[in-house]
Structure 1
Amino acid sequence: MLIKSLFRRSHSLPYNYLARAQWSTRCLATTCNTSLSPVALAYKESPKPLPQNDSKSQPIVILHGLFGSKQNWGALSKAMASRLNTQVFAVDLRNHGESGHSQEHDYHNMANDVACFLKEQNLEKPIVIGHSMGGKVAMYLALNHTPMDRVVVVDMAPVKVRLSSEFAGYVAVMKEIQQARVKKQSEADNIMKKSVPDLSVRQFLLTNLKKDTKEGYGFRIPIDILGGKLENLGQFDFAAGEDKYEGKILIIKGNKSGYVRDKDTELIKTFFPQVRIEGLDAGHWVHAEKSEEFLKLVTEFATEK
């Protein structure tokens, strides 16, 4: 199954969040802050199979990583909904998937979008799961004191880093494909394989390709916006010793990825005193490479008292 099973397309509609307002520097509110011009977020819901009073956990909200979308989490969303008998909402973050676009792309705005989504869906204390970029969004929500039952962060640490040059390379090749107006997805793959030899990475990036016009394919994500905001995605604006989340949090790291290092442990604990860190024998896409082990960790964490 691995990566392919997680890249099936979903067909969902965005929720109707219409508030728009002026830009503000930072969101410190515990709920939706309309001064940050929130973006409407598309989502896919996996309904729980049994009555609400039989649920084993709070509803779950899943936040994908950079260049990802809700469709990457389709199989896992259904598995979580079934095993925990709860609702699972896989969300498209701003400038991704079917969600709205904005010139602003940073963690404060993304976290506020999610806070507004939680308000719109009446999700008072969900479990929030975030991978990579989505993991940092989840940490921002936690440190901004957004009401959550508990948090799962997948292969991301609360540190400021410089993004790998690979991401700029992905943007460059997607721009090349966009300009080529390819007629087939195979043509896009042929262009991409010159600079992205890993088939699984190409498959992941090309889930963003769509039939644009009769003239060819294009990308559903705003490549220019994301390419210009890559530096923002390495940021982490909270201060160790000052900002803290006292709730339950599980960090699942890929032992082969290097995104969560052993030397980060003490820093992580200053932000998240109740943190539990688990490692799986995987790279950065822990949930795709070790899906069964990942599900076991999430299920146990979601149901523990």
Structure 2
Amino acid sequence: MFLLSTRLKTAARIRNGYSKCLFSSSTPFRIELAYQLIEPPTQEKKRNGQPIVFMHGFMGNKLNNRSISKALARDLNRDIYIVDLRNHGDSPHVPEHTYTHLANDVSDFIKLHRLRKTVLIGHSMGAKAAMVLALQSPETVTGLIPVDNAPVSAMLGSPFNDYVKGMKEISEARVTRQSEADQILAKYEPSLAIRQFLLTNLIRDPETDNKTLKFRVPIDTLGSNLDEMADFPWKFDRENDSNNADLPTYNGPTLIVRGLQSKYVSDKRLPAVKRFFPNAQIVGIDAGHWVISEKPEEFRQAVVKFFRENDIE
């Protein structure tokens, strides 16, 4: 589900690492965002423009976006940093999990690596984090691509609550095989593809001689912050535009990629998109919420076209 359907002819170079942010504005202790740097396959040092920072969605990790990042690094001749957001992947577990915290972490990451201006791509939770960063610090963002999320406060719905419940039950059952975990999770989520995605967070617990499986994400923390994941720091008023006068805007080139089978960027949310991002282009792809993994080639083509038509730095 999460791999490109076509094999790349040339492989991008990949480097792993952590960004060490000593005095993050988002938390009183150190945040070290895990990341991979994916470089274009060409040996030429000159790049076509600023690097891309790519952010995953809720319960995801940097590996979700590795295949598509290899393709984009090749096509765009740019470095791409795929990051693990806080409380995900190999990044630290901390109690606070809001979009402001996520955006500040990525802002620190950009400063630490001296990337100056970057292009931000994010899916779902990562899309909102990217939007918040662009609105907070537009001078650091040269292009923005939020994937299947909108700058609005909206209930996540029962699936995410069910995911957390199922993952908690798996933890309490102390399963030793992934098939046992999948059997439990099937009570909460019928889609095998989504279950497989969620279960990529399972690892062997070294405290049980690597026999018991455990989740590497802090389920309690993420579960208690679901309301924060449904929120957005600024409120758009659809009924009275005069109440929107003080809302921030990002006027740089923006591509909103939405799944046409998804509800997250419905037509009624487009006025909010245009208010925060006046220059936004809207592209619909015949997919559900998991746009990138469901239709990677269509997504790749949309991104490459956006870069070329807008002459992104």
TM-score surpassing 0.5?
yes
| Residues 260-271 of structure 1: pairs in structure 2 closer than 5 A | 260-271=265-276
| Residues 114-133 of structure 1: pairs in structure 2 closer than 5 A | 114-133=106-125
Partner SS for 1:16: strand
Partner SS for 1:52: coil
Q: How many equivalent pairs are there?
A: 288
Contact kept in structure 1, 2:53 and 2:119, CA below 8 Å: yes
| Residues 115-264 of structure 1: pairs in structure 2 closer than 5 A | 115-146=107-138, 147-213=140-206, 214=209, 215-239=211-235, 240-242=244-246, 243-264=248-269
5+ unaligned residues in a row in structure 2: which ranges? 6-13, 236-243
> Aligned pair in 2 of structure 1 residues 132, 155: CA closer, same or farther (>3 Å)?
same
Measure, in 2, the Cα distance between the counterparts of 1:275 and 1:297: 14
| Residues 32-111 of structure 1: pairs in structure 2 closer than 5 A | 33=25, 37=29, 39-50=31-42, 51-53=44-46, 55-111=47-103
Letter of the 2:18 counterpart: P
Measure, in 2, the Cα distance between the counterparts of 1:93 and 1:259: 21
Measure, in 2, the Cα distance between the counterparts of 1:59 and 1:255: 29
Measure, in 2, the Cα distance between the counterparts of 1:125 and 1:277: 23
Letter of the 1:184 counterpart: R
TM-superposed deviation, 1:4:
5.1
Partner SS for 1:102: coil
Contact kept in structure 2, 1:38 and 1:116, CA below 8 Å: no
Partner SS for 1:96: coil
TM-superposed deviation, 1:181:
1.4
Identity of aligned residues (%): 43
Measure, in 2, the Cα distance between the counterparts of 1:125 and 1:138: 13
TM-superposed deviation, 1:12:
3.4
Measure, in 2, the Cα distance between the counterparts of 1:105 and 1:172: 19
**Which residue in the other structure is 2:240 paired with?**
none
> Aligned pair in 2 of structure 1 residues 37, 245: CA closer, same or farther (>3 Å)?
farther
Q: What is the TM-score when the length of structure 1 is the normalising length? A: 0.90
Partner SS for 2:31: coil
5+ unaligned residues in a row in structure 1: which ranges? 21-32
**Which residue in the other structure is 1:19 paired with?**
23
Measure, in 2, the Cα distance between the counterparts of 1:232 and 1:90: 23
Partner SS for 2:97: coil
Contact kept in structure 1, 2:26 and 2:105, CA below 8 Å: no
TM-superposed deviation, 1:265:
1.6
Contact kept in structure 2, 1:69 and 1:91, CA below 8 Å: yes
1:128-187 alpha-carbon deviations (Å, 9 max, x no partner): 001011000011001102411100000011111111111111111111111111111111
Contact kept in structure 2, 1:110 and 1:137, CA below 8 Å: yes
Letter of the 1:129 counterpart: I
Q: 1:273 aligns with which of 259, 270, 278?
A: 278
Partner SS for 2:32: coil
Say which is worse superposed, 289-298 or 36-45, in terms of deviation. 36-45
Measure, in 1, the Cα distance between the counterparts of 2:30 and 2:202: 25
Contact kept in structure 2, 1:36 and 1:112, CA below 8 Å: no
**Which residue in the other structure is 2:305 paired with?**
300
TM-superposed deviation, 1:268:
1.3
RMSD between aligned residues: 1.8
> Aligned pair in 2 of structure 1 residues 129, 300: CA closer, same or farther (>3 Å)?
same
Contact kept in structure 2, 1:241 and 1:271, CA below 8 Å: no
Contact kept in structure 2, 1:57 and 1:302, CA below 8 Å: no
> Aligned pair in 2 of structure 1 residues 58, 38: CA closer, same or farther (>3 Å)?
same
> Aligned pair in 2 of structure 1 residues 274, 5: CA closer, same or farther (>3 Å)?
closer
> Aligned pair in 2 of structure 1 residues 184, 121: CA closer, same or farther (>3 Å)?
same
Letter of the 2:55 counterpart: L
Q: What is the TM-score when the length of structure 2 is the normalising length? A: 0.87
Contact kept in structure 1, 2:40 and 2:74, CA below 8 Å: yes
